[in-house]
Amino acid sequence: MSTVIALETSDVRFPTSSQLDGSDAMNLDPDYSAAYVRVVTDADDGVEGHGFVFTIGRGNDVQVAAIRALEHHVVGKNAEELLADMGATWRSFVWDSQLRWLGPEKGVMHMAIGAVVNALWDLKAKRAGMPLWQLLARMSPEEIVALIDFRYLTDALTPEDALQILRDAEPGRAEREAQLLAGGYPAYTTTPGWLGYSDEKLVRLAKEAVADGFSMIKLKVGGDLEDDIRRMRLAREAVGPDILIGTDANQRWGVDEAIAWMKQLEPFGVAWIEEPTSPDDILAHAAIARGVAPIPVATGEHVQNRIVFKQMLQAGSMSVLQIDATRVAGVNENIAILLLAAKFGVPVCPHAGGVGLCEAVQHLSMFDFIAVSGTTEGRRIEFVDHLHEHFVTPTDVREGAYWPPATPGAGTEMLAASRSEFEYTETQAAERLHV
């Protein structure tokens, strides 16, 4: 028996804005950051659970404060009990009646819950001696269904529906696990396409992406139409006709603008248009999807919870669903979203990049392949080649694929040296203001 004795937080910020890595039409100067949490127990194995919320700089301290507000749900509790019933543990966070007022189930407080939930999954997987994808993919359909809160979902997905999806996938699990280990999981790359890069850098990186084995790249759009047309032409010339090119507007447009803009880019061959408008706008996404067809609409990295995803699927707002490892309330909620996607037959192509998002989200796609959707058809995990060196188990991306991690845990543990070097202190804050 062990007890959780601390929820240790830290404010980690990488000064990425100096390179314009990660620049797009809405996020001009991100400093990729993590509101980081460690779940520490008194067990003598020294094993800790690590999790984080990804942010882009300012406000990372607010996110840290929100994680601290969850302390009473974890510290002093029996660790085995918390980990044994992760469905109940999840509900204890999300249904805290006072904290719930701060959302409900959205924004800072919901993401904080996600960090703690993910840290507990990291602890659970480490204790089980398995990478998270494998731990999840070996749970029974009943155990998986018990992780999910079906309130507000049953008009689209009932527990019985979920159980059926999982049972249908059960016979092929072992075969698909072997396939995954032998062939990896498909990836695509956003590295070439940031708005802040020059045309020369775009072309060079696009060619490198193809040489590296990627079958899809993605370009940020939505800043200036003439620029976008030129960049799309350059990218298409660089990669040739057979490589997919996705586009990402990062919420820039209203309905009419989105449709008109994409008509101009369509001739270059567009794999999808991502985040054409507000992530809250289910009906506008549906109108855009009708207006830009046959270009698929992709969205999800800023979709606040399973309830909005459910409606987007009901309304036909998206034909590609993009989960994010740290936007919703962690692994449990993302499993609910994977099951919703499976029910509606929509492929899941996770958002990643940032700090540690690749490391974390790959586990969910691999679990999905083995135990939920049973396919990688039309599915790719985003890959951005930034900041992986700071993680204990950095992604292994080669030949256009993510190769499944073998290390126990959820992939969310950052190196202690990196956490320490990039910890954001009052002194650093003052220094950055005066640079």
Contact residues: a second copy, CB under 8 A: 26-31, 55-59, 61-63, 65-66, 69, 96-111, 151-155, 251, 254-256, 277-284, 287, 302, 304-305, 307-308, 310-311, 314-315
Nearer to a second copy, 148 or 169 (CB): 148
> Which CB atom, from 80 or from 96, has the smaller least distance to a second copy?
96
- Residue 125 or residue 361: which is nearer to a second copy going by CB? 361
* Smallest distance from a second copy to CB 418, Å: 21
Contact 131, 412 (CB under 8 A): no
Instruction: Give the DSSP H or E segment for 424.
Output: none
Decide the pairing of beta strands 381-383 and 216-220: unpaired
Active-site entry in 124, 220, 343, 390: 220
Task: Respond yes or no: is residue 220 known to be catalytic.
Answer: yes
Nearer CB in complex with a second copy: 60/373 = 60
Determine the Cα–Cα distance for residues 17 and 27; give it in Å rounded to an integer: 10
Give min distance, CB of 314 to a second copy, in A. Answer: 6
CA–CA gap between residue 153 and residue 256 (Å, rounded): 31
User: What sign does the dihedral 425-431-433-435 (CA atoms) show?
Assistant: negative
CB 8 to a second copy: min, Å: 18
Least spacing, CB of residue 71 vs a second copy, in Å = 10
Contacts for 228 with CB less than 8 Å, ≥ 6 apart: 219, 221, 222, 247, 261, 264, 265
| Nearest CA-CA partner of 320 in 276, 248, 378 | 378
C-alpha span between 31 and 72 (Å, rounded): 30
Q: Are 403 and 394 in contact (CB under 8 A)?
A: no
Residue 372 DSSP class: I
Measured from the CB atom, the residue of 26 and 225 that comes closer to a second copy is: 26
CB of 181 to a second copy, least distance (A): 35
CB-based burial of residue 96 (10 Å sphere; 0-12 exposed, 13-18 middle, 19+ buried)? Answer: middle
Q: Which is nearer to a second copy, 151 or 201 (CB)?
A: 151
CB 91 within 8 A of CB 63: no
Min dist. Cβ of residue 81 to a second copy (A): 21
User: Which DSSP string do the residues of 193-249 spell out, in sequence order?
Assistant: E-TTS-HHHHHHHHHHHHHTT-SEEEEE--S-HHHHHHHHHHHHHHH-TTSEEEEE-
Cα separation, 344 vs 337, in Å, equals 11
Catalytically annotated residue among 351, 363, 386, 390:
351
The set of catalytic residues is: 220, 351
